Structures are given as structure tokens and as C-alpha cells.
Structure 1
């Protein structure tokens, strides 16, 4: 009895398997694997809308078949093989180059207007002064001044007593006392004057000696410096025979050479001179 029941069950199972095998349809074959690097083509479903017919208003509506139709069996897509060379020859799309946005242009400042150049004023050359001589007397010095008038801007005559002197001393007059002489020395030091001493005996007692020179030019420069500092010094010549000479102190005209002025005046020599002494 049990054996018969098992046989019936096996028969029913076999019939069910056979029925399933008949109704399952053809198995879809797997598409072959495409080679690496080759794109596949796929068939897209049609997007065309179905055409709908419009029935006339007086037409009798037709009976619609409501019998369900069997669903069509989907067919697997057919793979299309593309040659590898076609894919290799197709250039890859290049990314769009990013173009930097132009920087905002700032308002450029207006160019500064350069001021018009001011013409430079020519600086006049400093005046040049000379001493022309020596001349034996005043008349000879005046004649020399007349001959060199065109080369001289301004002139004056100067007499040099004891022209044969071998030494020239510069002195401040004797003070009333030793204390007064020492007070004068303090003023001299404060003015920046050096090379001094107080004479202690003789006829020039309490006088202040401010230097001894072998030529008159050095003594004249010392006198001019003391005069600019506010001191009234004197020059004492010694060692001469007492004879006098005359000199022509003058300012040279602009652009005149001292040698030309000496030649025109007939002087034996010319010496440079500080123009402050002519004022």
C-alpha cells in the first residue's frame, strides 16, 4: 500500500516537472563577452507614440476585445562587435580648457604733470683781486692805473713804508694794565685766534703780539683776519732802510687774467690779494 502511494507521488512529480519544462520557453542565451576596451551598441526601445484613430461622432462605438493578449517574449539584444581599431582611432574628448577670467582693471591714476623746468641762473664767478707793483712813487702808480684801466674793475693806491724791511710784526696796542691785557687775551681766545703773547717789557709793555712774518703778504692776511674778528691790530716793520714803495690794489675785470693786467700796467710783478681789503 505504501509502495503504491510512493509511485503515485513520483508520477505526479514527474508530470509537474514535464509541464514546467514545456511552459518555461526557450532559455535566453547569455551574450558573448565583449573584448576589453570595446564599446557595446544597444538597441533603444522606440519612443514613437502609437497612432490613435479618431472615430466620427455619429459612429457606433465598436466593441473592444478585452481578451488579454499573451505578453510578447523579450528577445535578448544582439551584440554588435566593433573593431578595436575603430575604437582606438576615435579621439578621446578633450576637457574644455579653463580660461581664467580677466582681472578687473583698476582705474589708472592720471599721470602727474611735470612742472616746467626753471632755467638755471648762471652764478657769477667770484671776483679776483691783485696787487700790482712796486712803483717808486705815487705818480708812477697813478700812471699804471690809467694804462690798465680796461682790465681793472676798481683800484686804489697803497703806500708801503720801509719797503726794505725783513720782518713784519702784528700787534694789538698796549693795554692800560696787565689785567686789561689778560682780559683782551681771553677775548682773542674766544674768537678762535691763536699764536699770541703779552709783551712784558720795553716800550710795547702790555701790548699783545699776534705773529711775526718774513713777508708783508703774510702780515696783511693776519691783519685782515683780526679785523674780521673785531680787533684793531697794527703792523710794525723792522730791518729796513726806511724807503717807501707804492702798490696798485685792484679788482680784475670779469674774464681778465692777472698777467694781462700786469703787462698793461707795466708793473714788475703781481700778487694775489683778498678783495675784502679793497672795501
Structure 2
């Protein structure tokens, strides 16, 4: 019984395999891989086509393919340039949307830089001598009239050409001979020497304290006598000298202006170094 069943099963299996074999479809042929661009494709042509002719046709196709690709690449930039140069079609006029105006920015003014004025160099000082004046008093009066036109100013005495001018230092005349002798005792007590009492003339009972050829020496003697507590005076004798007013001109003034104001008869240029 079991054997019979196995035989039936085997028979059914055989029938199924035979039916599948008869009804199955032919498998699709495998697609050969595509060759790279520019490489000729070899195909089998039925009917005994000459292999040499097939190879020549493939070579011609391979040569033409790169040439056509190169022409296409060269034509592409030309088309792009033409598209760029071609004027773009004006878009249809549309109402432009209103744009709110931006507020004006405040104008910042830069500070004006003033160029400092170039100061002109100061003019060199000028000094003059005004005169001559007959005596010291006249020269002092001229100095007062000149005022600030001469600053600083000084008086200078020019001795007479003959050189006979003498300068004496005198104490005022006493009321009597006894008073003059009493004054002499005071002079000796103060340590002064070189003195004598004038006994005649207009200067009788005056005490002479020295005679000098130049004014500078006489002025030094006067200073010493004044330091001892006395008040002498200077008397010039012989040919009188001349007095001059010397000084530096104020800025902006002229020598002629100073001469006119002082009343001097002459004016001379003077080196300012002589005033120092």
C-alpha cells in the first residue's frame, strides 16, 4: 500500500517538472556594457558581413563623434555671448511703488582751521645822537621834550677841541671865613683830603675839593664827597664843551621826528652797542 502511494507521488512530480520545462520562457539576453564615448562599438552582423568594412565604419564614427562634441562646445559660448549682448526686453511699464524718502542726514561742518599769520621779523633797533646843546641844562630839557621817542636815553658831554676845559668840585661858599674853616674840620674828620678855601673872587669862602681834566674823574670825586655827607657841585671852567642826547629810537619812530621834538640842531646815527 505504501509502495503504491510513493509511485503515485513520483508520477505527479514528474508530470509537474515536465510541464514547467515546456512552459518556461526564454531568458532575455544580457545587455552588453555600453562603451565609453568616442570608442567604436563592435556588433555582430548576420549574413557574413565583412569584418574589415565593419571596423572602418566604426573608426569613422569614432572620429566624427569628438568633432561634433567639440563643435557643440564651441557653439555654446558664442550663443551665451550673443544672449548677453542682446538687449533685454524692456519689462512692461508698471506703476513704481512709492518709496518713502529718507530723512536728510545732518550736515556736519568741519571746524575751520585758521592758518597762523607769519610774523614778520622785528626790525633791528636804531640809535641816534641829538645835539649839540650848549650846557647840561639844555640837554636835560631836550631829553624831557623827546620823551618816549628815545628809550633809553643818556647825556654825553663832548669836550672842547682845544682841551682847555677843566672841572672843579666845590662846596658852596660859607657865610664867613670862620664858617669855612669849621667846614674844613668836618671834611678832615670825614677822611677827605685835597681841599682848600678860596679866599677871593665870586667864590670867596667856597671850599674846592679838586680839579679834573675830564668829567668822569670829577663825577667820581663828587660821589665820594656825597658819601661823606656833603653836597658838592660841579663847575666847568675854560672852553665850554658840547652836550649830546643819545638813545634808542622807539619802534615805528624816525630820527627826524625825534630831532624835531627835542629841538636839536643835528642828528647823527649811532651804534646801539655804544649805549650799553
Shared fold (TM-score greater than 0.5)? Answer: no
Find the structure with the greater CA-based Rg: 2
